Structure 1
Amino acid sequence: MGSMDGADGTNGAGSPVAGRTDAARDRDSEGRARNARPRDGLGRPLPYGAQGVPRQPEGVVRPPAQSVAEAQRLLDEGKPFHAHEVFEDAWKSGPDEERELWRGLAQLAVGLTHAARGNLTGGARLLRRGAGAVEEWAAGPGGAPRPHGMDLAGVIAWARGLATGVESGSALPVDPGAAAPRLRAGA
């Protein structure tokens, strides 16, 4: 195996990788990877020392309305990768019955991220998967089509329309800010 996948600074086969140490790999106190490299608005790592965009803090517990508002702000700014982090926090900290909703919204944001990065197949696939998860949730517990004031029918239509446009080439290149969904009707 010649890859650098060893968590201990080795190449995965036990051989040390020149210049790699745990400290250089940005590990937290529990040994989990925490890449401190700056990132652009689409979450792509930039060289150390480059000017990136501020990262979303992880593990923030927000009320649902605040999660929706923060994610919409980030989407509007062309930062779907960062919006995905907000949805992921809601997915992990929210009630069990809403996990698929927030997970689906996170998948939609990642789908937009991939499409904007030029990964058209992956972007379209994630947009469709996220739309399916959101649709299933909307038709599921309580059948609430507008949880937390969100226009799920509009979000689902947006995701499927963008996936089709990406696949056909009619939506290219994808500008993540211009292509951002409206999470709430009229917002």
Structure 2
Amino acid sequence: MKLKVVMKSTLSIFFLSIFLMFSGLLYAQEKWNLNFRPAVNFATQDVGDAEIKTGFGFEFTVGYKIVRPLTAYVGWGWNQFTAEESFAGINADIEETGYVFGLQFNLPVKSSKMHYWVSGGGIYNHIETENSSGDLKFNTDHKIGFQIAAGLKFVIAETWRLSPDVRYRSLSTTIKSENIDLELSYLSFGIGLSKAF
């Protein structure tokens, strides 16, 4: 019994040491960043026959600095809109979920803790609709869409950044069971909080 405890303790210390060494290496290079971005979304058109209201959502991304001004990112996001009347019923929720990926170009301002940035990339998302009772009505396949964005980045602590931005996102897909074509496009205003490693 004692041998098992010793073995578990030894393995725990070993893996903790590796994790700390790896974390230290990442911290020293500061090539990675984690970002959380809540946002308010404004649709630029109706979705199917649904006149959708202002929505909200959030996104998590991981970025890697390829060269000094250029960062590649991947992540996952969720966005929700509501519609009083739609193909999914009365007071339906329209949710877009899936993956994001792309490149961000950073433009530092000399003698300042601020950067400008622009980005472009893809989304691989699908749309779900729920009725007012929360029952799933329709679900589409994942499709490729796109997004473009621009924003500012402020250094608020040694490795922490605050980044207000605006994005345009567009996704076209189909509810096969009903033969309904959907196009969801919207402007998104958000504030990201990121940590560099």
Please state which band the TM-score falls in when normalised by the shorter chain: under 0.3
Task: Flag the structure with higher strand content.
Answer: 2
Task: Flag the structure with higher helix content.
Answer: 1
